[in-house]
């Protein structure tokens, strides 16, 4: 009669399962730490497991869904809330920019007028000089 070696098979399956879970957990942590989107596909690909296996692990599934939802809620700016510009501050900056644009537009209009007068005077001087020379 053969010896019952099923204990070794069960132990190997348990070790393989623990190793697979550790890869999935590590993949979750790496994606989250890197600020990358945490999705079932991304975790499965990084951990080398199937998505269906992930869906079948209640705790891992819950964690993927939690991190995915947190990533969606996260603002696109990585600045802390205290360092972000307020609406009032942004309005003041916009008003200052508009004021500056008006000033530059007026300066541009004035300089174009001066240039036109200078070119006109230069042309008039050249015409006068050409007449004196007889050309």
pLDDT band at 120 (very low <50, low <70, confident <90, very high): very high
3-state secondary structure of 130: helix
- Mean pLDDT, rounded, for 33-62: 92
pLDDT value at residue 99? 95
pLDDT digits (tens, 9 = 90+) for 54-88: 999 999 999 999 988 887 765 555 656 666 778 88
Alpha helices in the chain (DSSP H): 6-34, 40-47, 51-55, 58-73, 87-133
pLDDT in tens, 93-114: 999 999 999 999 999 999 999 9
**Residues 56/92, Cβ–Cβ less than 8 Å:** no
How far is the C-alpha of 45 from the C-alpha of 68, rounded, in Å? 16
Q: What is the mean pLDDT of residues 10-34?
A: 91
Helix 40-47 × helix 6-34 angle, to 10°: 120
49's CB contacts (< 8 A; 6+ apart) are: 20, 23, 24, 43
CB-based contacts of 25, cutoff 8 Å, min separation 6: 60
């Amino acid at each position: 009669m053969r010896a019952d070696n099923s204990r070794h098979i069960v132990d190997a399956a348990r070790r393989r399962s623990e190793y697979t879970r550790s890869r999935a957990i590590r993949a979750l942590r790496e994606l989250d730490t890197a600020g990358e989107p945490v999705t079932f596909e991304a975790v499965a690909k990084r951990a080398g497991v199937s998505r269906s296996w992930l869906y079948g692990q209640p705790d891992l599934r819950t964690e993927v869904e939690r991190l995915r939802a947190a990533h969606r809620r996260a603002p696109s700016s990585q600045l802390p809330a205290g360092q972000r510009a307020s609406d009032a501050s942004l309005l003041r900056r916009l008003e200052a920019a508009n004021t500056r644009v008006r000033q530059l537009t007026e300066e541009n209009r004035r300089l174009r007028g001066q240039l036109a007068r200078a070119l006109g005077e230069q042309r008039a001087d050249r015409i006068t000089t050409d007449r004196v020379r007889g050309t």
